Structure 1
């Protein structure tokens, strides 16, 4: 029923599927963010204690020792700031200011304490790696290590002492950089797990609401339609009315059973069974049905998704059109299942914009993207409407995701 001249086409293509399948598992050996930060703080204090021991082991005045302790405290506070994620997000002038202060506290005391203060250059090297862009950070980091060759030379120490101070400075910088980044990554990982847990809960709520919509929308439409038919049949055809009442009871019992299984997520549906029910329902609504069904082996999840598509298509047909003819095609060719439901009797200007118009087709989009399916709707100026869903017969993992905004444009029949 598709015509290239009188139909506007709105097709939804798959994008990348990135849904969370469930709540994230918390690795038992992953340190907590506070523990990672504590490890970093203890490591910094350890390096500071080495410098304090070096200063106390050499003769210095009480004033110089007091000033050195104050300087070490200031370097410790600045380094804690540089090792936080907020430091890299600070404006450039603030980073330049704190790096400049740390550079002064690193190099000015060397004029007094010489090699005994050299360990503090490792903190400065680590800060450069943390706060500067990589192209600038690594050359600056190396330059700091080279400058540590100078104090031993001034003190007249052997070359091995100069090499040791240079190497320990560069190693300290890497340790500071690595522990700082580790603390940030641990915190980011914990935050991500919390967000994934929230997303999993939200996804489960959406699944529950989606399944209830698909179940009750179809079932209530069928019960309403058959009840109207019973109302007309009771005066003239009481026996036929009793048959229809039995069907209403059967539909209501099945709906109750389906609702009970929705919460557990165990409900499966069959496309062939749904199409059989649809033919019966449409015939009761005086709609002429032309059906072609050629299905083979289909995975349970794909079968359930396409059954939901068929159910929603029939629900929309009954709610939004005065159809006289409905054509249904469900075929399996080349590993691809194609379901097409088309009907006439649609007002071309009709668009249901009420807040209670439902989200059935949007729910189908969410279902189809999970099985790498595509969904298309076609509207004709002559009052025809067609819904086409295609999906692989067997489920494929790692699938593309569909843009919700695109699908919203095709949500009314």
Structure 2
């Protein structure tokens, strides 16, 4: 009932669902045929019943569609007037129209308003039942359907509104998930390609300088470039597939190669074999890669020191990564790299600090929780 019809089958099903309840109008129809009314009364009664049904369906066909309360109240007043005129003119069988007035008010009005209109329509039904000849015989058979049907439609309307909101929320969540995946891809590709392309640029420059006098050493640099290109292609494919998770031992080995190619003396820890949860290790590995890439590309440093230190804090055990160089230093400027690292570390409960290291040089400090803290 709630969503708009998008196919012919959907429209037919919705029409049948709303129209099946018109079965209870069999009493007025029977009265038109067998009630002994004049031809004119039958024609006018039939036209009035047709107009009533059309207006009723217009109100209940889309209960989720926002309508001005004033216009709905005016429509209900017209339906109530028509039902009253037909009941007073043609007899007690037409009192059932007030059940439809109650139902349409519950379907088309907000709950705060329909809580008043449903009892109002029922009260009008009771008043007319006591006025129409022999209407009291139908009174108790119509009061409960009027109240129950009206308030049931209030519940149905709220259920439809909630369902529509859930559909919208689900679409929003899907959009946010897609945005988050695009952001992840942007971070991964930036970190992967920035590191690999910086290394390729350095080795290309070295090969160019070695080529005239040391062709064998230049050939070795070209071979390294080919190896880096192949590995970068593999990394990009794995990042696109969402399977790549860099490790600290692998990034330490890559940092040693990149710093050596740039002519930077590297002071790195030995092979790191301490057990670290997968997500925190991945975040630290990305931090190490980005830090070393920045040292190679921007610092002009002669020396780079990398440390990995387990520490005990009030919040629990942490693993601390420090990357310090003796380059030009300066203030950390937020960019794609640092922003991406901050997001990665915050996702695992970690922190990132980057800034000058004394009078000269630059330092990046990343921490991730270990054990139960992560």
- Which TM-score band (shorter chain)? 0.7 to 0.9
How many angstroms does 1:168 deviate by? Answer: 0.8
Which position in structure 1 is the counterpart of 2:320?
Answer: 338
Note the alpha carbon deviations across 1:252-281, whole angstroms, 9 max, x for none. Answer: 332233233333222231113212321342
Using the alignment, how far apart are the partners of 1:179 and 1:40 within structure 2? 15
Which position in structure 2 is the counterpart of 1:56?
Answer: 29
How many angstroms does 1:107 deviate by? Answer: 4.5
Using the alignment, how far apart are the partners of 1:189 and 1:43 within structure 2? 23
Note the alpha carbon deviations across 1:177-206, whole angstroms, 9 max, x for none. Answer: 344445555555555555555555555454
Please, which of 348, 355, 358 is the counterpart of residue 378 of structure 1?
A: 355
SS of the aligned residue for 1:109 comes to helix
Which position in structure 2 is the counterpart of 1:296?
Answer: 274
How many angstroms does 1:305 deviate by? Answer: 2.8
The structure having more radius of gyration, on CA atoms, is 2
Which position in structure 1 is the counterpart of 2:84?
Answer: 110
SS of the aligned residue for 1:119 comes to helix
Please, which of 65, 77, 102 is the counterpart of residue 122 of structure 1?
A: 102
Note the alpha carbon deviations across 1:342-396, whole angstroms, 9 max, x for none. Answer: 33434637969xxxxx723333344334434433333579454333333334699
Asked whether the 8 Å contact 2:96–2:142 carries over to 1, the reply is no
Match runs of 1:98-247 below 5 Å: 98-113=72-87, 115-127=95-107, 131-132=109-110, 134-155=111-132, 161-190=138-167, 200=177, 203-233=180-210, 244-247=221-224
Asked whether the 8 Å contact 1:150–1:162 carries over to 2, the reply is no
Asked whether the 8 Å contact 2:119–2:147 carries over to 1, the reply is yes
Gaps of 5+ in 1: 1-30, 88-93, 353-357, 398-413
Structure richer in helix, relative to its length = 2
Alpha-carbon spacing, 1:86–1:230, altered in 2? closer, same or farther (3 Å): same
Which position in structure 1 is the counterpart of 2:54?
Answer: 73
Gaps of 5+ in 2: none
Using the alignment, how far apart are the partners of 2:298 and 2:173 within structure 1? 38
Alpha-carbon spacing, 1:46–1:249, altered in 2? closer, same or farther (3 Å): closer
The root-mean-square deviation of aligned C-alpha atoms, in Å, is 3.9
Using the alignment, how far apart are the partners of 2:307 and 2:166 within structure 1? 48
How many angstroms does 1:96 deviate by? Answer: 0.9
Please, which of 44, 47, 65 is the counterpart of residue 85 of structure 1?
A: 65
Using the alignment, how far apart are the partners of 2:346 and 2:11 within structure 1? 41
Asked whether the 8 Å contact 2:83–2:98 carries over to 1, the reply is no
Please, which of 253, 256, 269 is the counterpart of residue 279 of structure 1?
A: 256
Using the alignment, how far apart are the partners of 1:47 and 1:270 within structure 2? 66
Residue 264 (1) aligns with residue 246 (2) = no
Using the alignment, how far apart are the partners of 1:335 and 1:38 within structure 2? 64
Alpha-carbon spacing, 1:185–1:349, altered in 2? closer, same or farther (3 Å): closer
Using the alignment, how far apart are the partners of 1:349 and 1:336 within structure 2? 26
TM-score by length of 2: 0.75
Alpha-carbon spacing, 1:290–1:271, altered in 2? closer, same or farther (3 Å): same
Using the alignment, how far apart are the partners of 2:71 and 2:224 within structure 1? 80
Alpha-carbon spacing, 1:238–1:383, altered in 2? closer, same or farther (3 Å): same
TM-score by length of 1: 0.69
